[in-house]
Amino acid sequence: MRPAILADKLTKDYAGRRVVSRLDLRVEKGELFGFLGPNGAGKTTTMRMLTTLTKPTSGKVEINGFDVAADGRNIKASFGIVQQHLSLNRELTVRENLELHARLHHIGRRERKERIDELLDYVEMTEKQDQLIDRISEGMKRRTMIARALIHRPKLIFLDEPTVGLDAQTRRRVWDLIRAMNSDGATVFLTTHYIEEAEALCKRVGIIHQGNMIALGRPEDLCRDVGSIAVEARRKGGETSYLYFPDRPSAAEYVQTQSQDFGNIVIRESNLEDVFIELTGRKVVGG
Ligand X SMILES: Nc1ncnc2c1ncn2[C@@H]1O[C@H](COP(=O)(O)OP(=O)(O)OP(=O)(O)O)[C@@H](O)[C@H]1O
Which residues in this chain contact ligand X in the complex, by CB under 6 A? 14, 19, 37, 39-45, 161, 193
User: Shortest Cβ distance from residue 192 to ligand X (Å)?
Assistant: 9
**Spatial separation of the C-alpha atoms in residues 117 and 35, rounded to whole Å:** 32
DSSP for residue 85 = S
Intra-chain end-to-end CA distance of the chain, in Å:
40
User: Shortest Cβ distance from residue 68 to ligand X (Å)?
Assistant: 17
User: Shortest Cβ distance from residue 151 to ligand X (Å)?
Assistant: 25
DSSP for residue 165 = T
Q: Closest CB to ligand X among 21 and 44?
A: 44
3-state secondary structure of 53: coil
Q: Closest CB to ligand X among 35 and 244?
A: 35
User: Shortest Cβ distance from residue 42 to ligand X (Å)?
Assistant: 4
**Which parts of 125-220 are beta strand (E)?**
156-160, 187-192, 204-209, 212-217
User: Shortest Cβ distance from residue 7 to ligand X (Å)?
Assistant: 14
Query: Nearest CA to 35 among 225, 270, 287, 284?
Result: 284
Q: Across-strand partners of 229?
A: 245, 269
Q: Closest CB to ligand X among 212 and 240?
A: 212
